[in-house]
Structure 1
């Protein structure tokens, strides 16, 4: 299994099924993710830096098995920019 790090661009949903097939580019390299693709769509946005691990298929596309976001995820950024007040836990 190889690992790569880079910036995400061109996120597209190719197939909408029980496990959606998602295409994205990582530093001009074609990548596919199906296993955790819903989490990927919720956490990753274009322009974010991520690390991925996986293998190449017969069409020279990188098939992602694992991924990790470097820095804050999309959900964290939306929570930080939320106008709702934080609750006091005291």
Structure 2
């Protein structure tokens, strides 16, 4: 698997695709303008709690056969709520 990392901005609210096991879908725009469809499994509830629309995130993971980015580690750098206050 080809592991890579990138920084980006959350374009829309994360969506819960599956509850058991938890699977979260997020659409991220990277710094070069590319849009990535991301799947978050590990620590998905933390991602739902921390990430809001417009939040800057740092992601690390790999791409699957369907060209979806599977996130293994993430950090929410700044959410729009914390930037505004």
State the TM-score, normalizing by the size of structure 2. 0.79
* Pairing 1:51–2:58 present: yes
Moved beyond 6 Å, runs of 4+:
none
Instruction: Give CA deviations for 1:9-31 in whole Å, capped at 9, x if unaligned.
Output: 231110011x4100001112100
3-state SS, counterpart of residue 41 of structure 1: helix
* Cα distance, 1:61 vs structure 2: 0.2
Greater percentage in strand: 2
Q: Which has the higher contact order (CA 8 A, sep 6+)?
A: 2
State the TM-score, normalizing by the size of structure 1. 0.75
Gaps of 5+ in 2: 30-34
Note the aligned Cα RMSD (angstroms): 1.8
Gaps of 5+ in 1: 82-90
When Rg is computed on C-alpha atoms for both structures, the one with the higher figure is: 1
